[in-house]
Structures are given as structure tokens and as C-alpha cells.
Structure 1
Amino acid sequence: MHIRTEDLSSIEIEFDSGVVPPPYSHIFKLKINFSVKALETSLDLIYTDREELTEEEIFDEGFSLDDDFHFNGDISKIWEKPLKELYTASKWTNKSLDDEGGINLSLKDRQGKSSLVIPQNQQEWQILAQDLIQAIYETSKKELPLSLRYLIKTKTEETMIELTMKFSIRKVEIKINGKITEGAWDKTKDLLSYVFLPDYDYSKAKQQVPNHNGIFIDCGDGYWHELGKGVVNIDNSFDAVSKIKDGFQKLL
């Protein structure tokens, strides 16, 4: 049964990572109730199959022994529009999810009628779900907003771009040499998708702000990497480093 967007009272996004190996394999249920002032939200995120691994193997991958996360509370109503827009634009499939995993949606309308659907546009729903989870992390103070620094140094001038993604309120703050402006959310998300594609060589990274000419980036952990030297493309068929340079240049 299809539920009209305007009749939606709640959406539950259920995800299974499928054949992804531990410690990365996980499931989550993200339920959102549409209310007048906020989105009443619950999240249960559980990592799976870790009994197969030693503690050392889990730590080596950057995880802890207790990475599960649970949340009940409100997130900003600003997320209602993109969520309903994606629902409206989506098409559904009759095929069940296979071993690759994915997302299904449990829907409920204002009269209490329910429906279970599987979107064809799985990637779009997974991206939005991750954005919503990041908003929850910020709202619950589990994590701070993502902040990047980008530095262009030449013989004649220096430009520092500081980029802060505030998922809790779906806003981008751009600071260029101390002057703050608001950025476009979707365009900045596109830029971020390129930032984390290359290989970052931490043996060449510095914790001090670079004092020689070049283009540098700090991805939020305090380490400065030089593009083209400490930041290199993994896939020769796609020049992510150039995409990063172009994206930050457009912010100017």
C-alpha cells in the first residue's frame, strides 16, 4: 500500500550491512515521528558478528569494544523536508533484500495504517540515513560537528578556509581568513565526498600549520596533509585531488 507523503506520520529506516565483514558489519533501526516542533527520533545501532574477532583485531581497525549506540529524543525539524522529498522522489521494488543487505522502510500514516517498502534508490537512502545519524550524534553530544581546514600558501598571500558541517541544524559555516559566511549544504556535501576518497599518508603529515608554499588540508584530526604529496589519488581513473582543489576554490 502506497502512503501519500502528506499523510505520513512516521518512517522507520531499517538497515543491514549484509556481507560486510566485522568489525564493520552492523544493523540499525532509525525511527522518525513527524511532530509539530521537532522530529521525535529513536536509533538503535548494533555492530554484529564481533565474537569472531579478538579484542586486538577490533582495536586495530579503530573500533572499541562497545560501539553500539542508542538514542531517544528530538532532532531538528529542518530534516523533515529532505526526508519527505526523498520519499516523494523514490520508486519501490518488489524484490527482497539479498545477502548484500540494504534498507527497507516501515511507514505509518495518520490513521495508523502501515506499509513496508524497499526503495530502488538504495544509495540515496543510505546517504540520508547516515546524515540523520550524524545529526543525532551531534544533538546527543556524542560527536562535535565535522570541521576541516584548507590552506593555500603562495609567495604573496595566504588563504585559510575553515569549513564546519553542522548536521544537527543542517547548516554549513564557511570561514575564509576569519570572515564567516553560510555555505550551500548539498554542494558542500559533494565536496566532502571527494575529500575522503584519496590516500592520506600520515608519515608525511604535520601537526604544525605549514609554513612553506603549497596547498594543504586538515581533515579534522589536527594533521596537515599536502595535496599532491601527502594526499594522492587511489584510483588513477578518477582525479579526486583535483576535485578537492576545484571545490575549495569555488568557495572563494
Structure 2
Amino acid sequence: MNTSKSSLTGIILEYDSGIVPPPYSHVFRLALDWGKDNLEVKLDLHYTEREELSEQEILDEGFTLNDDYSYHGKLNSVWIHPIQDLFATTRWTNKDIDEGGITVTPIEKGKDEGVKIPANQEEWQLMAQDLIQAIYETVKKELPLTVHYRLVENDLTTDCSLTVHFSNREVIFEKAGKSRTIHWEYAIQLMKVVFTPDYHYELAKEEPGKKRGAYIDCGDGFWHELGKGVVNIDPSFDAVTKIRSGFQTLIEG
């Protein structure tokens, strides 16, 4: 089977978290259809094996007692090309995914072309996560992610923010009351780096610092100082410096 990007009219993504323990373990089926010029989506997400846990154990991990979710409706068609592009560059494998993973079923002109296993598992899992987040924002289940950043240099304080709208794949950078659209991939890579280091909440403040340094609020209202309250986990990857340089590029741009 050699489904081309141009003949693809939809895909079905099915995911099983595999050996991940509850309450995190889950499965989902995400069907996408753009055969009629718009993007129709159907999501069924179910958390598994929670009967093994007490209600308090589930709540203590930050979940609710009913995290399953279903949706059938439209999504912004801006997502179609990224899906098609990922499909076109994907290599497939015969390797099983008994310990968890994602499968892709291409739909060509309404016809199911059979289940395929992508070799680039992480890329497809991230795409699926982005699409689910887009659904959550579209139905107002969750708000767009906004990260605030403050840089204090001598007597100059620069405040800025980056808001990621998954619903329409748009990222807005705001500084000094002015906003501009940022390249999606740049922003997503920066967001990955932002959530890479270790955040020490016992050192966090409810207000940004005023002394020389860089401060970040990852959207939960708590401010952390880079290099003190935010520290690298992996000594071979300097995430803290990458956060600084990533926002510096935006500030100077």
C-alpha cells in the first residue's frame, strides 16, 4: 500500500500507554477526516486500571475521578497540512508495540488502508497530544498555555509572555503592550525546553523578582528564578541557558 499525501483524506490514531501504571495509564482513539474540506475529528479517551487505586490515590496525582473524555466535532483545518507532512515523511516498521505506542490507519478517499506502525513513535505521539490539546481548547475545556518571563538587567526590567493556541496553531509573543505572531515550531521547541528542568516550588514566589536575573512563570501563577529555583536535571543538557537564549531571541526580535 502506497498512500500518497495528496490522496490521504483522513487518519485514525490509536494509542495505548502500555506499561505505564495507573492513574496515568490510558488508551485513546482519534479519528480525523478532511475529505470534505473541513476537519472532522472524533476522540475517545479512556483511563485504564484505576480500579486498583483508591479515590484519594487518584486525586493525589492531580487527576479527577472522571478523566475519560469523548468529542465529536470540528477542528481548525490548519492542522491538516502538518498531519499530511508528518505522514509523508514517516517510515513504517514491523516492530510490535506490546509495551505501548501509537498506530496510524490511513484513510484514502474514505477507505481504510489498514493499521500501520510508525517508526517515529515520538513524533506521532506528540502530534496526537497536540491535537487533543487543540480539542480541549476548542471546546473551552482548557485555556491556551501562557508562559510569562521577566528579565532584570541593571535598571532595565523586561516583561514578556508567550501564549500557545493549539486550537489554531498560533503563538503570540507579547512585550510592552505589543504582540506579534511567532513561528509555531520555534515556540513548541522552546516550550519543550521550558518544561525540561527541575522547578523547586519551595523557592517559588507569587510575584516576579526585582533583582538582577531571569524569572519565569509556567502558567500556574508561581515565579521561579532561572539558575536558583530552576535547575538542570541532566548535566549534559543546559536547559536553563536554552530558556534564557530562547526568550532573549524573542525579546530582541
TM range (shorter): over 0.9
Question: 1:68-107 alignment to 2 at 5 Å?
Answer: 68-99=68-99, 101-107=100-106
Quote the offset at 1:129 in angstroms. Answer: 0.8
For 1:237, give the aligned amino acid: S
User: After superposition, what is the alpha-carbon deviation per residue over 1:37-82, rounded to whole angstroms, capped at 9, x for unaligned?
Assistant: 4210011111111111111111111111111111111000000000
User: After superposition, what is the alpha-carbon deviation per residue over 1:101-147, rounded to whole angstroms, capped at 9, x for unaligned?
Assistant: 11111222116252211111111101111111111010011001000
1:59 matched residue in structure 2: 59
1:130 matched residue in structure 2: 129
* Runs of 4+ in structure 1 over 6 Å off: none
2:140 matched residue in structure 1: 141
* Unaligned segments of structure 1, at least 5 residues: none
3-state secondary structure, aligned to 1:127: helix
Question: 1:12-31 alignment to 2 at 5 Å?
Answer: 12-31=12-31
1:41 matched residue in structure 2: 41
TM-score (norm 2): 0.96
Question: 1:105-124 alignment to 2 at 5 Å?
Answer: 105-110=104-109, 112-124=111-123
What is the rounded CA distance, in whole Å, between the counterparts of 1:227 and 1:194 in structure 2? 13
2:163 matched residue in structure 1: 164
What is the rounded CA distance, in whole Å, between the counterparts of 1:35 and 1:7 in structure 2? 10
Change (3 A) 1:52 1:81: same
Report if aligned partners of 1:25, 1:47 keep a CA contact under 8 Å in 2. Answer: yes
TM-score (norm 1): 0.96
Report if aligned partners of 1:205, 1:224 keep a CA contact under 8 Å in 2. Answer: yes
What is the rounded CA distance, in whole Å, between the counterparts of 2:144 and 2:110 in structure 1? 37
Quote the offset at 1:211 in angstroms. Answer: 2.6
3-state secondary structure, aligned to 1:11: strand
Report if aligned partners of 1:2, 1:115 keep a CA contact under 8 Å in 2. Answer: no
Root mean square deviation of aligned Cα = 1.2
Change (3 A) 1:113 1:239: closer
Change (3 A) 1:40 1:111: closer
Change (3 A) 1:42 1:113: closer
For 1:82, give the aligned amino acid: P
